[in-house]
Amino acid sequence: MAARLLLRSTFRAATACRVARAAPAPALTRSMATGGIPTDEEQATGLERIIMENMKEGKDPYNMMKPKAYSGTKDDPNIVPSITNKRIVGCVCEEDNTAVVWFWIHEGEAQRCPSCGSYYKLVHYDLPH
Ligand SMILES: [Zn+2]
C-alpha cells in the first residue's frame, strides 16, 4: 500500500514537472508595480526625467549626443548653435593637425575657416530651461 502511494505521488510530481517545463516561463519584470526593483524610468525625477523622456522621442535637449557631421561646404556648412549672435569656433583643419585655428563667427551668412576654408554657420539656439 505504501509503495503504491509513493509511486502515485512520484508519478504526479513527474507529470507536474513536465507540464511546468512546457508552459512558457513568466516574463522577467522588475518594475515597482510587481513589487520588484524600480526601473530607471520609474525612479528618475526632475532634470534626469526630462532628459530620459526627450531621449525616447529622439531629442537631445542638452547636446549630450555626438554632433551631426557636416561636409563643411557652402551648401552644407557646419552648424554652430549659439545663444548669442556670435561664437568662437575652433577648427582642426586636417585630421592629424595638432594646432587648432580659432576664429569668431557671427550670425548671418556662413563663414569660412581662414586656414582650410570650411564653412561654419551660426544658428540661434534657445536653452531648454
Ligand atoms: Zn579649418
Per-residue pLDDT tens digits for 16-51: 545 555 555 556 666 666 778 888 888 999 989 988
pLDDT tens, residue by residue, 45-103: 998 998 889 889 988 877 777 878 899 999 999 999 899 999 999 999 998 999 999 99
Q: What is the CA radius of gyration of the chain?
A: 31
C-alpha cell at 97: 593637425
Residue 17, annotated ligand binder? no
* Residue 118, pLDDT score: 95
Q: Are strands 78-82 and 119-124 parallel, antiparallel or unpaired?
A: parallel
pTM for this prediction: 0.55
- Cα of 93 from ligand 1 centre, angstroms: 4
Give a three-class secondary structure readout of 23-91: CCCCCCCCCHHHCCCCCHHHHCCHHHHHHHHHHHCCCCCCCCCCCCCCCCCCCCCEEEEECCCEEEEEE
* Residues paired with 45 in a beta bridge: none
- Cα of 9 from ligand 1 centre, angstroms: 82
- Cα of 85 from ligand 1 centre, angstroms: 21
Give me the CATH code for the 66-122 domain, please. Answer: 2.60.11.10
Give me the phi and psi of 102, to 5 degrees please: -100, 135
- Cα of 49 from ligand 1 centre, angstroms: 38
